[in-house]
Amino acid sequence: MAAAASVKSGVPDAIYWTVDDVAHWVDEELGFPQYQECFTYNYINGRKLILIDSSHLPKIGIKDFEHIKTIARRIRNLLGVEEPHWSRSIALPAREPIALFLQQKSVTGPKINKLTFDEFVKGKMC
């Protein structure tokens, strides 16, 4: 399992991770073995990991604020998604394309499973 370095068509491999892959990443890469069960109990796979941010972590059992900040930052880094800035203008586009694509991929189904980043970008441009 490689982090964000290995990507298919600009998409991090992490979105294809199983629940066990995510738990392994939390333990080995993040160094938080005490939180493996939080992720496995809540069935957090790569697609669900896309939706996890600092507001979700306490809901799955992670309460330490410094750990929450670290895990949320590392998830964003893993997926290649920018941290939203608190003073971001609402006149700007909602989010960068990869973040919008990953949000789409967090859902499962035959149509979404086949969707590639290139197809997503072309569809957004039309």
User: Does position 6 have pLDDT exceeding 50, yes or no?
Assistant: no
Residue 42 or 89, more confident: 42
Give Cα separations from 110 to 107, 113, 114 (angstroms).
10, 5, 6
pLDDT: which is higher, 123 or 64: 64
Asked if pLDDT for residue 26 goes beyond 90, the answer is: yes
Q: What are phi and psi of 12, to 5 degrees?
A: -60, 140
Note the pLDDT tens digit of each residue in 81-90: 776 665 667 6
Which contacts (CB < 8 Å, 24+ apart) does range 28-37 have? 29/3, 29/74, 30/70, 30/71, 30/74, 32/67, 32/71, 35/61, 35/62, 35/67, 35/71, 37/61
Residue 36 binned pLDDT confidence (cut-offs 50, 70, 90): very high
pLDDT tens, position by position, 65-85:
999 999 999 999 998 877 666
| pLDDT number for residue 4 | 42
